[in-house]
Amino acid sequence: MDARQILKDHITKSVELTDAQFDGFYACFKHESFKKGQMLIREGDAVTREYFVLSGCLKTYFLNDELRMTILQFAMPTWWASDYDALYNRHPAAVIVDCVANAEVLSISTDDRERICHEIEAIGHFFRWRTNRGYAASQRRLLSLMTNDTRKRYEDLLEQYPTLFQLVPKHLIASYLGVSRETLSRLYHSSR
Protein backbone atom coordinates (compact mmCIF):
# COMPACT_ATOMS: atom_id res chain seq x y z
CA MET A 1 0.00 0.00 0.00
CA ASP A 2 1.45 3.34 -0.93
CA ALA A 3 1.85 6.52 1.10
CA ARG A 4 -1.09 8.29 -0.44
CA GLN A 5 -3.47 5.44 0.27
CA ILE A 6 -2.28 5.06 3.88
CA LEU A 7 -2.92 8.74 4.57
CA LYS A 8 -6.23 8.64 2.74
CA ASP A 9 -7.43 5.65 4.78
CA HIS A 10 -6.30 7.38 7.95
CA ILE A 11 -8.08 10.64 7.34
CA THR A 12 -11.28 9.20 5.93
CA LYS A 13 -11.85 7.46 9.25
CA SER A 14 -13.10 10.75 10.57
CA VAL A 15 -13.92 13.11 7.70
CA GLU A 16 -15.17 12.93 4.14
CA LEU A 17 -13.12 14.63 1.47
CA THR A 18 -13.55 14.86 -2.26
CA ASP A 19 -10.65 13.53 -4.34
CA ALA A 20 -9.68 17.09 -5.21
CA GLN A 21 -9.66 18.10 -1.54
CA PHE A 22 -7.54 15.11 -0.62
CA ASP A 23 -5.13 15.89 -3.50
CA GLY A 24 -4.72 19.39 -2.13
CA PHE A 25 -4.05 18.03 1.34
CA TYR A 26 -1.62 15.35 0.17
CA ALA A 27 0.33 17.99 -1.79
CA CYS A 28 1.25 19.67 1.53
CA PHE A 29 3.29 16.67 2.63
CA LYS A 30 6.88 15.74 2.04
CA HIS A 31 7.72 12.02 1.79
CA GLU A 32 10.94 11.16 3.68
CA SER A 33 12.95 8.04 4.58
CA PHE A 34 15.16 7.58 7.63
CA LYS A 35 17.51 4.85 8.84
CA LYS A 36 17.43 3.30 12.31
CA GLY A 37 19.08 5.71 14.72
CA GLN A 38 18.65 8.73 12.49
CA MET A 39 17.18 11.82 14.09
CA LEU A 40 14.24 13.72 12.71
CA ILE A 41 14.40 16.31 15.50
CA ARG A 42 17.45 17.17 17.59
CA GLU A 43 17.47 18.99 20.92
CA GLY A 44 17.62 22.72 20.23
CA ASP A 45 16.20 22.51 16.70
CA ALA A 46 13.56 24.94 15.55
CA VAL A 47 10.54 22.67 15.09
CA THR A 48 8.28 23.47 12.16
CA ARG A 49 7.06 20.03 11.07
CA GLU A 50 5.18 17.05 12.36
CA TYR A 51 5.53 13.50 11.07
CA PHE A 52 2.96 10.90 10.04
CA VAL A 53 4.53 7.43 10.16
CA LEU A 54 4.07 5.19 7.10
CA SER A 55 6.36 2.37 8.18
CA GLY A 56 8.92 1.62 10.88
CA CYS A 57 8.88 3.13 14.36
CA LEU A 58 9.97 6.43 15.93
CA LYS A 59 10.58 7.42 19.51
CA THR A 60 10.33 10.82 21.16
CA TYR A 61 12.54 11.18 24.19
CA PHE A 62 14.11 13.52 26.68
CA LEU A 63 17.65 13.35 28.08
CA ASN A 64 18.11 14.70 31.61
CA ASP A 65 21.29 16.23 33.04
CA GLU A 66 22.77 12.75 33.62
CA LEU A 67 21.86 11.83 30.02
CA ARG A 68 19.24 9.44 31.34
CA MET A 69 16.61 8.81 28.64
CA THR A 70 12.90 9.14 29.28
CA ILE A 71 10.67 8.15 26.38
CA LEU A 72 7.54 10.26 25.94
CA GLN A 73 6.07 8.28 23.10
CA PHE A 74 6.61 5.78 20.36
CA ALA A 75 5.15 6.25 16.88
CA MET A 76 4.17 3.19 14.87
CA PRO A 77 2.54 3.33 11.43
CA THR A 78 -0.38 5.79 11.24
CA TRP A 79 0.79 7.58 14.38
CA TRP A 80 2.04 11.15 14.47
CA ALA A 81 5.19 12.48 16.08
CA SER A 82 6.93 15.77 16.82
CA ASP A 83 8.07 17.91 19.69
CA TYR A 84 4.59 19.36 20.11
CA ASP A 85 5.53 21.76 22.85
CA ALA A 86 8.16 23.31 20.56
CA LEU A 87 5.91 23.07 17.51
CA TYR A 88 2.91 24.86 19.02
CA ASN A 89 4.72 27.27 21.33
CA ARG A 90 7.46 28.08 18.82
CA HIS A 91 10.53 27.48 20.92
CA PRO A 92 13.54 25.20 20.36
CA ALA A 93 13.10 21.46 20.73
CA ALA A 94 13.54 20.09 24.23
CA VAL A 95 13.03 16.50 23.15
CA ILE A 96 14.57 14.33 20.45
CA VAL A 97 12.74 12.30 17.79
CA ASP A 98 14.62 9.46 16.15
CA CYS A 99 14.13 6.07 14.53
CA VAL A 100 13.90 2.85 16.49
CA ALA A 101 13.74 1.10 13.09
CA ASN A 102 14.11 2.28 9.50
CA ALA A 103 11.11 4.48 8.81
CA GLU A 104 9.20 6.21 6.08
CA VAL A 105 7.18 9.24 7.02
CA LEU A 106 5.10 12.02 5.54
CA SER A 107 5.80 15.41 7.10
CA ILE A 108 3.82 18.64 7.06
CA SER A 109 4.72 22.10 8.31
CA THR A 110 2.54 24.04 10.71
CA ASP A 111 2.11 26.84 8.18
CA ASP A 112 0.90 24.43 5.48
CA ARG A 113 -1.33 22.73 8.00
CA GLU A 114 -3.01 25.97 9.07
CA ARG A 115 -3.34 27.14 5.48
CA ILE A 116 -5.03 23.92 4.34
CA CYS A 117 -7.28 23.91 7.45
CA HIS A 118 -8.36 27.42 6.49
CA GLU A 119 -9.08 26.35 2.90
CA ILE A 120 -10.85 23.07 3.65
CA GLU A 121 -12.92 23.04 6.82
CA ALA A 122 -13.06 19.24 6.90
CA ILE A 123 -9.27 19.20 7.30
CA GLY A 124 -9.69 21.60 10.23
CA HIS A 125 -12.18 19.20 11.70
CA PHE A 126 -9.78 16.30 11.20
CA PHE A 127 -6.96 18.04 13.03
CA ARG A 128 -9.24 19.10 15.90
CA TRP A 129 -10.43 15.50 16.13
CA ARG A 130 -6.91 14.11 16.07
CA THR A 131 -5.51 16.55 18.65
CA ASN A 132 -8.54 16.06 20.87
CA ARG A 133 -7.93 12.32 20.84
CA GLY A 134 -4.24 12.86 21.49
CA TYR A 135 -5.06 15.10 24.43
CA ALA A 136 -7.49 12.56 25.85
CA ALA A 137 -4.90 9.77 25.45
CA SER A 138 -2.34 11.89 27.22
CA GLN A 139 -4.74 12.49 30.11
CA ARG A 140 -5.45 8.75 30.37
CA ARG A 141 -1.74 8.08 30.50
CA LEU A 142 -1.21 10.71 33.19
CA LEU A 143 -3.99 9.15 35.20
CA SER A 144 -2.56 5.67 34.77
CA LEU A 145 0.89 6.88 35.83
CA MET A 146 -0.51 8.40 39.00
CA THR A 147 -3.01 5.74 40.01
CA ASN A 148 -1.68 2.37 38.88
CA ASP A 149 1.28 0.47 40.19
CA THR A 150 4.18 -0.62 38.02
CA ARG A 151 2.86 -4.10 37.30
CA LYS A 152 -0.57 -2.83 36.23
CA ARG A 153 0.90 -0.26 33.89
CA TYR A 154 3.16 -2.87 32.34
CA GLU A 155 0.29 -5.33 31.88
CA ASP A 156 -1.96 -2.64 30.39
CA LEU A 157 0.72 -1.68 27.87
CA LEU A 158 1.33 -5.32 26.93
CA GLU A 159 -2.40 -5.84 26.40
CA GLN A 160 -2.96 -2.62 24.47
CA TYR A 161 0.18 -2.69 22.27
CA PRO A 162 1.50 -6.27 22.09
CA THR A 163 3.29 -5.52 18.82
CA LEU A 164 5.34 -2.83 20.55
CA PHE A 165 7.04 -5.59 22.57
CA GLN A 166 8.15 -7.21 19.32
CA LEU A 167 9.33 -4.02 17.60
CA VAL A 168 11.16 -2.32 20.43
CA PRO A 169 13.91 -3.42 22.90
CA LYS A 170 12.71 -3.90 26.45
CA HIS A 171 15.02 -1.30 27.89
CA LEU A 172 13.23 1.28 25.74
CA ILE A 173 9.84 0.08 26.91
CA ALA A 174 11.10 0.40 30.50
CA SER A 175 12.08 3.98 29.76
CA TYR A 176 8.61 4.69 28.34
CA LEU A 177 6.95 3.20 31.42
CA GLY A 178 9.22 5.20 33.69
CA VAL A 179 10.83 2.16 35.36
CA SER A 180 14.33 0.71 35.29
CA ARG A 181 15.17 -2.06 32.82
CA GLU A 182 15.84 -4.37 35.79
CA THR A 183 12.35 -3.80 37.18
CA LEU A 184 10.76 -4.47 33.77
CA SER A 185 12.78 -7.66 33.46
CA ARG A 186 11.51 -8.79 36.87
CA LEU A 187 7.89 -7.96 36.00
CA TYR A 188 8.22 -9.72 32.64
CA HIS A 189 9.45 -12.92 34.19
CA SER A 190 7.07 -13.02 37.08
CA SER A 191 4.09 -12.71 34.77
CA ARG A 192 4.88 -15.77 32.66
First to last CA, the chain: 37
Q: Is residue 84 near its own copies by the rule CB under 8 A?
A: yes
Helices and strands of the chain, counted as H and E runs? 9, 6
The H or E element that residue 68 is part of is none
Q: Is the dihedral of CA 31, 1, 84, 124 positive or negative?
A: positive
Q: Is residue 147 near its own copies by the rule CB under 8 A?
A: yes
Q: Is residue 114 near its own copies by the rule CB under 8 A?
A: yes
Closest CA to 133 of 55, 179, 65, 79: 79
Q: Is residue 142 near its own copies by the rule CB under 8 A?
A: yes
Q: Applying CB under 7 A, which of residues 62, 127, 129, 188 lies at the interface with DNA?
A: 188
Three-state DSSP class for residue 25 = helix
117 binds, among its own copies, DNA, none (CB under 5 to 8 A by kind): its own copies
In whole angstroms, how close is the CB of 132 to DNA at the nearest point?
A: 31
Contact mark string toward DNA, 140..159, x via CB under 7 A: ---------xxx--------
Compare residues 6 and 184 and give the one whose CB is closer to DNA. 184
| Triad 164, 66, 56: Cα angle to 5° | 25
The footprint of its own copies on this chain (CB under 8 A) covers a number of residues equal to: 36
169 binds, among its own copies, DNA, none (CB under 5 to 8 A by kind): DNA
Whole-number CA gyration radius for the chain: 18
In whole angstroms, how close is the CB of 175 to DNA at the nearest point?
A: 10
Q: How far apart are CA 43 and CA 95, in angstroms?
A: 6
Q: Pairing relation of β-strands 96-109 and 39-41?
A: antiparallel
Q: Which residues bind DNA (CB under 7 A)?
A: 149-151, 169-172, 178-186, 188-189
Q: Which residues bind its own copies (CB under 8 A)?
A: 62, 64, 68, 70, 72, 84-85, 87-89, 95, 114, 117-118, 121, 124-125, 127-129, 131-136, 138-143, 145-147, 178
